[in-house]
Amino acid sequence: MGIINFAIDSSIVYKNHSYIIKGFPSFGEVLIKDTVSPYKEKIVKVYELSKESTNTTNPLTHLVELDEKSYETAIKKFNIINPLLNLKSRTMEDIKVIAKKHKVGVATLYRWLEKYENSGTISSLASAYKNSGGKGKARLSEETENVMESVINSLYLNQQQYPLEMIYRNIVENCRSINTEIPSKNTVRNRINTLNPKLVAKYRKNVSIRDTRGTPGKFPEVKMPLDVIQIDHTKVDIMLVDETTRENIGRPNITVAIDVFSRMIYGFYISLEPVGFFSAGQCLLNAILPKDDMLKRLNVQGEWSLFGLPRKVHMDNAKEFRSNALQKFCQEYRIEHLFRPVARPEFGGAVERVIGTHMQNIHQLPGSTFSNVRERGTYDSEKYATMTITELEQWYLDFVINIYHKTEHSSLGMSPEEKFYQGLYGIGDGRIPFLPSIPADTLKLRMSLLPAMERCVQKNGITIDYVTYFSETLRKWIIPANYKKLNKNLLSKTLVCKRDPRDISKLYVYDPDIEDYIIVPYSDIRKPAINQTELRHAIAKAKKEVTGREIEMHDVFAAHERLNEYVEKAKREKRSTLRHNSSKNHIAKVIEYEKKTLENHSKITEKKSVKNDSLTVEEDLFEYYEVDE
């Protein structure tokens, strides 16, 4: 998954033709020139280029799809060449110094530099060989990861300062007790080395965070737009109603990202579901990509110029921000992943102040809950609630781009939009010097921001949360029982699986042979598509009803069907049920729009020839709309 760098005289592919970038008429447009006679020039939208198939020879593998060994190899190579990447004029002598220091050949360093500079992603530095983790070797399972995390948190982050030998011994014993694979000692050591030093100081050394050497005394320096962005969640101070029944469904959640330099809103995501990694991922997705599709979907007039990959992401210590998937996403695009120092709330002040300002404006809307009971007084929020989640999205988007971005900010002395333009124009000749870089493949970007898990293929397919998925393509990873008996040391292949919480009917499984995702449906395709929240409720109900045996897939869907029957029979739905239905309808609309915007991507992307009954993500979307139309 490469990166599009919008630099003058750089190459770009548009509608399968090569062009050279000649200038930027605006922050949403690029002037390109044909590389062959008659050398015509044209102006195209940035978002059109972001959907184009780029001329890259690098595999589409993302860091999250790499096995443990390949992941560590890619990071090691990047750390070696990183000093060379920052040199303005790189010479042979510079290469020789680094080669001698790390005992690497000069030609090898040039090859690594070429790979990285062609793609812009760290995953390009992984071994080019298939199954580079070694024949029969698998990546760590989710169970092993959970054991390591639990033991490290309880024993390493402990004032007793237990040694690595004891910590590793406990991990081995716990893994054996649950019959899961045992990580190497180096893997455990690497996990410990990635811990936040502030947490180590506090929980292992019993040193005050404020006294820890290396803790910054002020916020990281910000000189340009996208130098640092901050991201945070909050409950929105308003009651919403269902789009169909207009009954009250409660308060939504919002995830907001801002550009610290300009105070412009970088991206946001509003949902009725609990906040988590998916909320953070969708906010980042909205932030990084050009906003044309969002403006069109919500039918809001205006401009939102801020887009592109940031240099640093600053967030608090919430669990969803510390996930391995989010950290690998940031590593892939050289985004520095910063956490707010513990007990230092002032470090998140920028995004919190912006959210507070926006909540004050939301208090003017019907159904506002205000900031507290005293401020609300006798106002009946539920009685006056009139807005749906889609209407709130429209209102908030319009407010952000047409009011907030254009209103003078007290700490800037100008509007956020003026500050943003000032940062890019600087004191130059009035021309736009550059545009931010964006990932070349938006579909792969979306996939990289979905929750990931690792599973082995069993004889009936892949089972996650009691739901089994199967297609014929998975058969090549199913190891016959007789063969296992003859080869006791043989391990089942562990595959990276992703699932959209808004629709769990399909599993996206990364196939290392074709270096792309394949679609794997339910093993029983008659089962209905449901979301993650519905699945949790159905599992909880099935566990109460099934006794004396393990619950199975049919138990979960039977429970889901009974829950729906209760809803149909009810004359007046409760708020929780209304909230769920409203969230499901809203999510369905968003997913439908996303699929349609990706249709062009599917048509122009060269399809991989996979001789099996499974589909790639692009083929799945393409066939869906061919039939539908």
Three state DSSP letters for 209-264: HHHCCCCCCCCCCCCCCCCCEEEEEEECCECEECCCCCCEEECCEEEEEEECCCCC
Q: What is the CA radius of gyration of the chain?
A: 26
Judge if 462 and 501 occupy the same domain: yes
Based on the domain organization, do 488 and 597 belong to the same domain?
A: yes
Answer yes or no: is 34 within a domain.
Answer: yes
The single-letter code of the amino acid at 177 is: S
Sequence-ordered list of residues with C-beta below 8 angstroms from that of 308, at least 6 positions apart, any chain: 226, 288, 435, 436, 437, 438
- Domain extent for 36: 3-50
pLDDT beneath 50, residues of the chain: 1, 53-59, 129-138, 210-217, 343, 346, 427, 571-572, 604-613, 621-629
Quote the number of domains for the chain: 5
State which of 444, 464, 482 marks the end of a domain.
444
Cα 203 from Cα 200, distance rounded (Å) = 5
410 domain residue, yes or no: yes
> Do 365 and 404 sit in the same domain of this protein?
yes
The answer to whether 327 touches 195, Cβ cutoff 8 Å, is no
Same-domain pairing of 389 and 294 = yes
Does residue 424 sit in the same domain as residue 455?
no
State the amino acid at position 125 in one-letter form: L
Whether 492 and 594 share a structural domain: yes
Q: How far apart are the C-alpha atoms of 30 and 67, rounded to whole Å?
A: 38
The domain boundary residue, chosen from 412, 427, 444: 444
**Assigned domain for 61 exists:** no
Q: What is d(CA 232, CA 314) in angstroms, rounded to the nearest whole number?
A: 9
Whole-number pLDDT of residue 390: 92
CATH code where residue 280 lies: 3.30.420.10
Spatial separation of the C-alpha atoms in residues 531 and 584, rounded to whole Å: 8
Give me the pLDDT at residue 599, please. Answer: 62
The answer to whether position 580 is within a domain reads yes
pLDDT at 622 (0 to 100): 44
Q: What is the pLDDT of residue 402?
A: 94
Same domain, 574 and 547: yes
354 and 234, same domain (yes or no): yes
- Tokens 């990546």 -> residue: 139
Of 444, 473, 497, at which residue does a domain stop?
Answer: 444
Q: What CATH number is associated with residue 175?
A: 1.10.10.60
Q: What is the pLDDT of residue 55?
A: 41
The reply to whether 581 and 472 lie within a common domain is yes
Looking at residue 132, what is its pLDDT?
Answer: 41
State residue 68's pLDDT score: 66
Residues 408, 310, single domain; the answer is yes
Alpha-carbon distance values, 369 to 366, 398, 481, 507, 526 (Å): 9, 21, 60, 39, 43
In a domain? residue 217: no
Domain assignment of residue 132, yes or no: no
Contact indicator for 367, 360 with CB cutoff of 8 Å: no
CATH code at position 42? 2.30.30
Single-letter amino acid, residue 504: I
What is the H or E stretch that residue 602 is in? helix 599-604
**What confidence score (pLDDT) does residue 123 get?**
78
Alpha carbons 57 and 429: distance in angstroms, whole number: 37
Largest CA distance in the chain: 79
Q: At what angle do helices 575-597 and 617-628 cross, to 10 degrees?
A: 100
CA distances to 536, 559, 566, 569 from 542, in Å: 10, 6, 15, 20
Alpha helices in 86-195 (DSSP H): 92-102, 106-119, 142-151, 164-177, 185-193
Pairing status of strand 3-4 against strand 438-439: antiparallel
Q: For position 601, what pLDDT does the model report? A: 55
Confidence at residue 588, expressed as pLDDT on a 0 to 100 scale? 80
Do 399 and 519 share a domain, yes or no? no
**Are 429 and 570 part of one and the same domain?**
no
β-pairing verdict for 11-14 and 41-45: unpaired
End-to-end Cα spacing for the chain: 30
564, containing H or E segment: helix 553-569
Neighbours of 311 (CB within 10 A): 17
In a domain, 224, yes or no: no
Q: Is residue 222 situated within a structural domain?
A: no
Contact status, residue 520 vs residue 469, Cβ threshold 8 Å: yes
pLDDT of residue 341: 56
